[in-house]
Amino acid sequence: MTHTDPYLWLEDVDGDAALDWVRARNAETAGALEASDAFRATEKQILEVLDSDAKIPPIGKAGDWYYNFWRDAQHVRGIWRRTTLPSYRTDSPEWDVLLDVDALAESEDENWVWHGAKVLRTGPLAFKRALVSLSRGGSDADVTREYDLESRSWVADGFVRPEAKGDVSWIDGDTVFVETDTGPGSMTESGYPRIARRWRRGEPLADSEIVFEGAHEDLSIGAFHDRTPGFERDWVVRATSFYTAERYLLTDAAGGDLELTKLDVPDSAEASVKRDQLLVELRDDWTVGGRTYAAGSLLAIAFSRFLTGDSADGGRDFTVLYEPTGNSALAGYAFTAHRLVLELMTDVRSRLEILTLPTTPDGTWERVAAHHVPELGTLQVAPVDADEDDAVWLYTTDYLSPTTLSLLDLGSRGVNARPVPLKSMPSFFDAEGLVVEQHFAASTDGTRVPYFVVRPHDLAYDGTAPTLLYGYGGFEISLTPSYSGGLGRAWLEHGGVYVVANIRGGGEYGPTWHQAALRDQRHRAYEDFAAVARDLAERRITSAAHLGAMGGSNGGLLTGNMLTQYPDLFGAIVIQVPLLDMQRYHLLLAGASWIAEYGDPDSADWDFLATFSPYHLFDADRAYPPVLFTTSTRDDRVHPGHARKMAARMLEAGKDVTYYENIEGGHGGAANNAQAAHMSALAYRFLWERLA
């Protein structure tokens, strides 16, 4: 069908005809939805949340300084700044501003969007230089420049990576690893770097030393330096697909040659090395050393023994740090200098476990009780300085409790560690009278699918409550309870019900939960979401006429399938930065990188891909609920042509379609707080006007 697609011209991202079509649709939306007082009030309320000075400034430590990037009403594009920990503890920290992105954008006449910075941490220039990345309009492609933190200026002879998808990272003050576009053949078919280089100060990028070359069909190649004192190592990661990778230890052999030692672990596993411990997180069952370890397990072994040994002498005798159960999974982990903190989920509810690293290759891991740590909606930890101490940042949140940031010191064996609150977000909406509950819906094959409901405590249960059902269901991403001031103001305070479905395809129950909806099993994710929709109606929380669905990216594919496969279950649907044409997705921008998730349309996989390709499932003779499509011209991850073509096809058939495309924004849909508030207000007002 691709060669007869009448809307193929809308894939020309910056083509005059395509942009004329976009502007016409945006104008229609402005007249129909954005002109109301209710829209402007909602947009203002959301922007107040995003611009609030009372938000928690997240910080990262480098040397004696704590760095933060901040946006508000006065700093639309943001400022990069730093402070000290004693100052941060106060109500009004003293911030040392390093870079004003608004001023930079104006002086260079560019629509710069901040993409992050890496501070040099070793050598004579330690904490004096940084690699700063900036994107035009929010696209994934960006530029990287070396910045002098003392003079607040770009380094005249510094490292500069031209605009491309890629990365630069420090090895030492005069050397970096770089992966970027250096000409024909240097990028994979997915649009990511194929070559990793070691780039020395002063030499042309094209002449820099190649340390690894992948294949054209790989996903991407990356290299990085582990600077842990006493355990400095260089690594190369060859991502062969979204879920498989080869990991190599890179060393300089005699005679100047490079030596690559491949880690003998499953390509589907995640592996990391801290000091002398190798950790392996399994996506699949693994039999090694005469023992089988279950998918979802976290294993550990002394790295020195692993490199030199074999199964016969214990070189493959792993310690199981975590093994999943039927309703629990590993959500993540974080190293400190002497500890390992496990983030665990049981039925999508968080808890922590703390372990002490062995001090010798033959030593044992010791579990330490995590006293005084709350067990509520979501807990997340991050090391303050993984090389120097055992402190972690602890974030706690749920749907009704504003996020709190605490400092948790796990030294002295962590037995009496108490979180010390540092910052809390304000309450942006009135949560009085709201309750959160968890239910389980039975999917088509009988699987119990958990979902959270945020509702008024005095809900009438007459099926009339405007209800927003949100989901994602892909790429091992878990949807856990979190606080949103914008959602609270725009939806909950008006009496709306908010529901989050933890469908298969996500990571809520580990890799098996994700794999249950891969490729030809994709329909399971959509059956799960539909089951939650039906369960809401059966409980009389809402009914089809008052139930809306919303999702973005892979979640946009989800809601696109709700639109085309389950239109009778919903009163309105919001589809954001979506994939919709599954016959051509792999040919558009980064689409080829997701073949491991969805399948290859150029093979027999099209037989099952066609069953969840909304663009091909659309039937002009069928009735559909009102739909809002939103996307971004500058999205160079998921092509805006998906949303454009689907909207055009439906409009020609006379369906109720609202369309808005942000000219900036990247895959996130917005390049600044004002744009983010506008996009959110569009979604909430569209749903409220059609469901209430």
Is residue 667 part of the annotated active site? The answer reads yes
Contact call for residues 14 and 642 (beta carbons, < 8 A): no
Given 75, 514, 667, 678, the catalytic residue: 667
Residues 586-614 as b/e (b if ≥16 CB within 10 A, e otherwise) read: bebbbbbbbbbbbbebeeebbebbebbbb
d(CA 76, CA 73): 6
Contact call for residues 248 and 212 (beta carbons, < 8 A): yes
d(CA 248, CA 226): 13
Beta-bridged to residue 504, according to DSSP, are 506
102, containing H or E segment: helix 101-108
Cβ contacts of 138 within 8 Å, gap of 6 or more: 113, 632, 634, 664, 665, 666, 667, 668, 670, 671
Could you tell me how many residues make up the chain?
692
Q: DSSP per residue over 534-545, as a string?
A: HHHHHTTS--GG
d(CA 185, CA 221): 13
The label of the residue with tokens 């100060």 reads 201
Torsion on CA atoms 12, 14, 15, 16, rounded to nearest 10? 150
Tokens in use for 513?
């939960």
Contact call for residues 507 and 476 (beta carbons, < 8 A): yes
Is residue 553 part of the annotated active site? The answer reads yes
Strand 547-552 to 572-576 pairing: parallel
Geometric angle at alpha carbon 325, from 321 and 329, rounded to 5° = 65
Tell me which residue of 451, 438, 450, 512 sits closest to 476, measured CA to CA: 512
From residue 408, give the alpha-carbon distance in Å to each of 82, 211, 526. Answer: 21, 40, 40
Given 220, 401, 553, 593, the catalytic residue: 553
CB-neighbour burial class of residue 190 (10 A; exposed 0-12, middle 13-18, buried 19+): buried
Geometric angle at alpha carbon 252, from 250 and 257, rounded to 5° = 110
Catalytic residues: 553, 667
